[in-house]
Structure 1
Amino acid sequence: MKTETSQQKSLPNWEELLQVAQQNTTAKWISRPGQTPATATISSYLHRLSPEEKPSVLLYRDTHAWCPFCERVWFALEEKQIPFETELIDLSNKPQWYKDMVPTALVPAAKIEGELVYESKDILLALEKKFDRFPLLPIASQEKSVALDMIENFDANGLVRSGYEFLRGKPFNSEQSTETIPEQMAAQLLNLQTTFETKLDQLEVTLGQYPGVYFMGEFSLVDIMYTPAIRRFAANLPVFRGYSLYNNDRFPRLNQWLTAINKRSAYQRVKPSPRTNNLIMHKLFGVQPIHNNKSLSVTQPQPHAEAGSDKQDYFMEAAARLSSNYQTVIADIIKNSGIKKWVSQETLPSIESAIDGHLRRLVHCLIEGSIPLFSDKPVDSKTDQQNEGKEELAADAAVGAIALAFLRNRVCVPRDMSAGAAVALETTIDAMLSSIY
């Protein structure tokens, strides 16, 4: 394979791509050279502080931004427009200083004006006490008491537990596997579904106790407590159980609530994508998708489609995040996609060049908003030179297909980019893959 094709030479270089993308996106992040992840999303409101001013909140959260409890705190910080710093904790190798500092050794934890607070519920209440701007608890004493009770006794009816048991296909306290007995498996799933639906019925009643779409009528910490789990169920259940919360006539208030949550600009910045949620459920917890759903994605019907900032901003964010991190991405593709097994020291430069070219083409497509043809298909030829050119093109296409398909499922939301940007990246990659062959 040649080191660079003529098509790759015609593409802008990485510096040019990054400059254009950054000029056209409002997304903010920092680079972390030599660390994992290599970039990290930052508070939307750090710009309000003077250069010498330190944020009064330091949030400790997981590196992948998968943790639903960390998501609660991040969501609240964005809703209350509190500038904050973030320290990322590798859950697979927690640093000793963190285990010494936090008695539970769990995330999230936070230092609020220097005071350590841990457990997501306690952090939310501490933020509410310290920062009275944009309050997230009702003002009226009776409603506030109800909200605090709901926060304190979150999931008292076992909704979240029953949802995950339905996803797993068996109760948490059961070690018995019924996967080899279809009749028992079907009966158990039906029982688990019935239990989950009963809990959802109770949630539906709770959502109707005050006027408005939110639990307390107005958006509050109660909504933040429920959001991560319910949104994950909304993504997971269609893929792994063929069951949808969206457009489910049995739960009209829940659907109104899901729509309202998804429209909040703060949640757009912190929410995972459906694909990320489904890959986590499959790869980390071993839950198998039904109907051989290889994509592990789910198309959300309107009105639950990605909403929020301008669509172009998502494409530019994806372009900028990839451009600012392309060297790490290329190294990850070579190391973990399977390509490395067939690469020698002699062929490595040409493989790296091919991947580089396909990624630059991807970023160029994100910026321009169109998918050019990969190349004109070479006509059949009997000459050795033309056959060699055809083989070169096919080899480059194969490397590109592997790299792009790997990247599509590798992107983690919101660690690598926002959910809207991830959708922009995924759809562009899908279109590029179709154009390669």
Structure 2
Amino acid sequence: MTFARGGSHSKLVRSSLFRSGSFVRSLIIGAACIPATSAFTAAAKLPSLRSQLSSSSLTDTKLPPRAKKLSSLSTSMNLFRAFSGQGESVQKLSQSFVESAPSWSELEEMVKGSATGARLMEEKQQRMRGAGPTHRENKLRLFGQQEKDIRVVLYRDSAAWCPYCQKVWLLLEEKEIPYKIELINMRSYGDKPDWFLAKNPRGLLPVVEIDGKMISESVYIMQVLDSLTEKKPMLPRSDQQLMDRANSLMQLERRLFGDWCGFVFQPGAFGRSSFEDTLNLVDEALRSSPGPWFLGGDSPSIVDLQYISHIERMIPSCLYWKGFQMRGNGKWKGIEAWLAAFEQRPTYMATKSDYYTHVMDIPPQYGPGQPIPEADKYQKEIDGRAGWSLPLPPLSENSIEPVLAFNNPGDEAARHEAATSLLGNHEAVARFCCRAAGSGVGDWFRKGGMTRSKLADPNAQPNEEYVKDVDACLRVLTKALLVGTQEVEGNVSFPTSGAKVQKECLLYLQQRISVPRDMSFPAARQLRAHLSWMMDKLVD
């Protein structure tokens, strides 16, 4: 598809923008998406809670150490098969522990009394009115308009992860086009609803519905949406020279994507030099432009949105599997400045994922990343084998996963955000955890092979016998997030035996916390580490 210069979307044509070649690895548009109905936000949709996160192996080095310590870890994809409803006797936690846990009503008052909790609760009320900042839970965006005047419906992935959905989502937010949102599963992580397939038989995401007409393919969608309003134009249609540059840069992005695939998904250092060469070209293009954006100006263009949706995912995957640092090495200063410019925009930060989520949600059709020994230290930090324990080191621009100063809320605010998220849907979260002791874990993957994610359990059922115990653990955990672990340890009677299953239930949750679907990266980091603390306090 080439960028068109006309103003009406009826004049846009679907010609080929991306040239095929040996350096381009083919992909299905919209397939690289991880859907899920978050346990933190949607109790009413419990059967499909968190039906995603990883297409990477769950055995050997891909697992945090507690997975190996808590179970024999067979090579089967059912990580918790010893507790999958096969006759295991139920062992309950001590009554003194359950009774010593604070009540949810007590915790709610504590959350309301915190600055972060109060702000997040107010923002939730704003979302119900179609107002407030960009957020993964938004279902209606008005930008000061009337709901009756909305022309656009965005159908995007449930997990707020899909790169193709992300760039369309970002364009709508940047241009402040009023729209409604419908969340749809991706094929690898759950079935699509029949009503959606009736509207969109191919089932691909994203799609937008404009005045009742369904439009697919993300780049084409962005052009159509950009043509709906002159506010914040995302393409310089009146400037032929800049339009030619835009099309050239879009070709370069496809080359970058292909070289990334040829590097990360091939053994050893194969493809590294080609990937670096293309990164150099991208960096040069940014440094030659006035300001941080590819086409200049004060805000990102469609070209910037196309690049950020994939470079955001390249950074963690290159580090995790190849030990290859795209940030913080001083080599690509144009890219660094461009990333910093994006990270100063609240619209982008609300859609941005974290390294763990990205390396765990690589789509099955891409194949597994191919690790090298030099990447081992980064893998341990990213996947929790070395990075998910208290006390956590401070976040900074020099962290393995850098957080710029203006995006760092501090440890207390991050903990309180995690506590607020748990409080908001604690019943569903407790039942979700108990899938680990129930049935159906791993069935979705086994029946679909390479077309389905290994951690997707859309049809798994929780073991209700453990819900009360796990709920008590979550109450203690939430209190620790609010006031600190030291105070909690002095007031709770932790069980001294019989907690093996409950620990695995918490591990099941820990491995599936997703950013931005569940919360921000600083909050997810705190929650993962506090789950480790909670598991350490429980004795088998």
1:159 aligns with 2:159: no
Unaligned runs of 5+ in 2: 1-91, 128-134, 388-394, 441-462
**Cα contact 1:44–1:81 (8 A) shared by 2:** no
Q: Give the TM-score normalised by structure 1.
A: 0.76
1:291 aligned residue:
376
Would the alpha carbon gap of residues 405 and 124 (structure 1) be closer, same or farther in structure 2, given more than 3 Å must change?
A: same
**Cα contact 1:268–1:419 (8 A) shared by 2:** no
Q: Which amino acid aligns with 1:277?
A: H
Would the alpha carbon gap of residues 236 and 212 (structure 1) be closer, same or farther in structure 2, given more than 3 Å must change?
A: same
Q: Distance in 2 between matches of 1:409 and 1:2?
A: 23
**Cα contact 1:3–1:353 (8 A) shared by 2:** no
Determine what percentage of the aligned residue pairs are the same residue: 24
Q: Give the TM-score normalised by structure 2.
A: 0.63
2:294 aligned residue:
215
Give the secondary-structure state (helix, strand or coil) at the position aligned to 1:117: strand
1:366 aligned residue:
481
Cα deviation per residue 1:367-419 (whole Å; 9 max; x = unaligned)?
33x223664699xxxxxxxxxx98x43334x4554333322221122222333
More helix by percentage: 1
Cα deviation per residue 1:89-133 (whole Å; 9 max; x = unaligned)?
222223344344336431100013433221111111112111322
1:417 aligned residue:
519
2:102 aligned residue:
11
1:86 aligns with 2:186: no
Q: Distance in 2 between matches of 1:103 and 1:209?
A: 43
Q: Distance in 1 between matches of 2:269 and 2:100?
A: 58
Which shows bigger deviation, 291-300 or 61-70? 291-300
2:232 aligned residue:
134
1:232 Cα deviation after fit: 0.7
Q: Distance in 1 between matches of 2:503 and 2:368?
A: 26
**Cα contact 1:58–1:86 (8 A) shared by 2:** yes
2:496 aligned residue:
393
1:351 aligns with 2:466: yes
Which residue among 491, 504, 522 is the counterpart of 1:402? Answer: 504
1:364 Cα deviation after fit: 2.5
Would the alpha carbon gap of residues 199 and 321 (structure 1) be closer, same or farther in structure 2, given more than 3 Å must change?
A: same
Which residue among 172, 182, 196 is the counterpart of 1:98? Answer: 196
1:294 Cα deviation after fit: 5.0
Q: Distance in 2 between matches of 1:283 and 1:408?
A: 21
1:232 aligns with 2:313: yes
Cα deviation per residue 1:322-379 (whole Å; 9 max; x = unaligned)?
22222222222111x35779xxxxxx666322211121222223333x223664699x
Would the alpha carbon gap of residues 301 and 245 (structure 1) be closer, same or farther in structure 2, given more than 3 Å must change?
A: farther
1:194 aligns with 2:273: yes
2:58 aligned residue:
none
Q: Distance in 1 between matches of 2:209 and 2:487?
A: 52
Would the alpha carbon gap of residues 291 and 301 (structure 1) be closer, same or farther in structure 2, given more than 3 Å must change?
A: same
Give the secondary-structure state (helix, strand or coil) at the position aligned to 1:164: helix
Would the alpha carbon gap of residues 16 and 428 (structure 1) be closer, same or farther in structure 2, given more than 3 Å must change?
A: closer
**Cα contact 1:404–1:429 (8 A) shared by 2:** yes
1:49 Cα deviation after fit: 4.4
The structure showing larger relative contact order (alpha-carbon pairs under 8 Å, at least 6 residues apart) is: 2
Q: Distance in 2 between matches of 1:46 and 1:99?
A: 27
